[in-house]
Amino acid sequence: MKPKQLILALALTLGAATLAHAGDSVKIGYITDLSGVYSAVDGPGGEAAIKMAIHDFGGSVLGRKIELMDFDHQNKADLAAAKAKEYLSQDGVDMLLGGTNSATALAMAPIAAQYKKPFIVVGAGASSIVGKQCTPYTVMYAYNTTALARGTASAVIKHGGKSWYFLTADYAFGKSLEDEAAKVVNADGGKVVGQVLAPLGASDFSSYMLQAQASKAQVLGLANAGGDADNAIKQANQFGVTKSMKLAGLLLFLTDIHSVGLPAAQGLYLTTPWYWNQNAQSRAWAERYFKQMKAMPTFLQAGDYSAVMSYLKAVKAAGTTDGTKVMAEMRKMKVNDMYMHGGSMRPSGLMIHDMYLMQVKTPAESKEPWDYYKLVQTIPGNEAFGPAAAYGCSLEK
Using the rule CB under 8 A, is 81 a contact of other proteins?
yes
27, 83, 117, 361: which one binds other proteins (CB under 8 A): 83
Using the rule CB under 8 A, is 102 a contact of other proteins?
yes
Contacts of 40 (CB under 8 A, 6+ apart): 255, 298
Least CB distance to other proteins at residue 303 (A): 20
The answer to whether the CB of 265 falls within 8 A of the CB of 229 is no
DSSP 361-378: PPTTT--STT--EEEEEE
Which residues are registered as beta bridge partners of 358? Answer: 270, 375
For residues 337 and 303, what is the distance between their CA atoms, to the nearest angstrom? 11
Least CB distance to other proteins at residue 108 (A): 10
25, 60, 74, 259: which one binds other proteins (CB under 8 A): 74
Taking CA atoms, 337 is separated from 114, 189, 247, 302, 361, in Å, by 31, 36, 31, 11, 26
Least CB distance to other proteins at residue 267 (A): 30
Least CB distance to other proteins at residue 365 (A): 35
Least CB distance to other proteins at residue 29 (A): 11
Interface stretch with other proteins, choices 1-9, 50-58, 64-72, 314-322 (CB under 8 A): 64-72
Strand order in the sheet with 355-360: 191-198, 163-169, 219-223, 246-249, 269-272, 355-360, 373-379
107, 112, 185, 217: which one binds other proteins (CB under 8 A): 107
Least CB distance to other proteins at residue 224 (A): 12
Nearer to other proteins, 70 or 178 (CB): 70
Nearer to other proteins, 82 or 390 (CB): 82
The answer to whether the CB of 270 falls within 8 A of the CB of 371 is no
For residues 71 and 31, what is the distance between their CA atoms, to the nearest angstrom? 5
Using the rule CB under 8 A, is 44 a contact of other proteins?
yes
For residues 353 and 385, what is the distance between their CA atoms, to the nearest angstrom? 9
Least CB distance to other proteins at residue 171 (A): 5
Torsion of CA 141, 147, 148, 153, to 10 degrees: -170
Task: Report which secondary-structure segment, H or E, holds 96.
Answer: strand 95-98
Using the rule CB under 8 A, is 39 a contact of other proteins?
yes
First vs last Cα of the chain: how many Å apart? 67
The site that binds other proteins (CB under 8 A) totals a number of residues, namely 36
Task: Report which secondary-structure segment, H or E, holds 237.
Answer: helix 226-238
Using the rule CB under 8 A, is 133 a contact of other proteins?
yes
43, 118, 323, 343: which one binds other proteins (CB under 8 A): 43
For residues 94 and 97, what is the distance between their CA atoms, to the nearest angstrom? 10
- Residues shown for the chain: 397
Using the rule CB under 8 A, is 266 a contact of other proteins?
no
Using the rule CB under 8 A, is 173 a contact of other proteins?
yes
Using the rule CB under 8 A, is 20 a contact of other proteins?
no
Site string for other proteins, 199-238 (x = CB under 8 A): xx--------------------------------------
Residues that bind other proteins (CB under 8 A): 34-36, 39, 43-44, 69-72, 74-79, 81-83, 85-86, 90, 102-103, 106-107, 110, 126, 128, 133, 170-173, 199-200
